[in-house]
Amino acid sequence: MGLISPVATDSRGNSITAAAQKELGKDDFLQLLITKMTHQDPLNPMQDEDFVAQLAQFSSLEQMANINESLQQSLDWDYLQMQTINNTMATSLIGKEVSASYSGVYLDDINEPGISFITDRYASEAEINIYDSSGNKIRTIDAEDLGAGTQTFTWDGRDSRGNRVDEGYYTIGITALDKDGESFNPSTLLTGKVTAVSYKEGSAYLQVNGVEIPLADIRYIGEYNPEEDS
């Protein structure tokens, strides 16, 4: 009959994996120290200096564990605080004029994102390519005969096969041909009034000219002038 390998346990008697056995926590260190003292040779007890040295190691280990826990709590609090500040800032931008150079749009289960870009010249053809989070091109929207200026198109949220794709953030890439057949890349710089704010996956998105812009993509904030629309 073969030998049965002993099962390693922690200070509470729970079994631990081989990977976990490589690291000792402060409870395990204290348990080892107590076990060593319990089974020490009465004729050759642990010397005072050895005992003090091991207690000092235990104290250092405990302090390091406490510092690590406090640091993690501090990081979590800083992230939550920053997220709250960003969300509050986003709400205050409603009614403001902003400019943003965005790189993608967010699709939820009901919306049809607007895609806006600027051509600095006439474009005989243009391709709006939409990519998923893995960089796969899932859809191409074709356009023709575009004059210089701002162009806006609506994506119905479907891929090239006509299937509605999953909710998430999708990257936009735009290429165009001018009247001489030369290729150029229109700018995705967008300027307009913020009409609404939405929150998705913990991030704030501003509604500008029918396009949802991530707060982090905003490059300019100013006062909205209604006379510019007249």
Note whether 86 and 180 are same-domain residues. Answer: no
Rounded to an integer, what distance in angstroms lies between the CA atom of residue 168 and that of residue 17? 37
Note whether 155 and 88 are same-domain residues. Answer: no
Per-residue model confidence as pLDDT tens digits over 181-208: 999 999 887 778 888 888 777 778 888 8
Note whether 151 and 196 are same-domain residues. Answer: yes
Among 126, 108, 225, CA closest to 117: 126
Per-residue model confidence as pLDDT tens digits over 5-31: 444 555 455 554 444 444 555 566 567
Answer with the residue of higher pLDDT: 56 or 186.
Answer: 186
Domain limits for position 119: 95-229
Query: Which residues is 168 bridged to in the sheet?
Result: 107
Q: Number of structural domains, the chain?
A: 2
| Main-chain dihedrals φ then ψ at residue 22, nearest 5 degrees | -75, -15
Is the whole-model pTM more than 0.75? Answer: no
Note whether 84 and 99 are same-domain residues. Answer: no
Strand bridging mode 114-119 / 149-154: antiparallel
Note whether 81 and 113 are same-domain residues. Answer: no
Note whether 186 and 76 are same-domain residues. Answer: no
Distances (CA, A) of 196 to 12, 94, 188: 54, 6, 20
Note whether 59 and 117 are same-domain residues. Answer: no
Note whether 143 and 182 are same-domain residues. Answer: yes
Cβ neighbours of residue 224 closer than 8 Å, sequence gap 6 or more: 95, 96, 97, 193
Name residue, tokens 């209604």. Answer: 226
Give how far the C-alpha of residue 64 lies from the chain's centroid of Cα atoms, to the nearest Å. 29
Rounded to an integer, what distance in angstroms lies between the CA atom of residue 209 and that of residue 115? 9
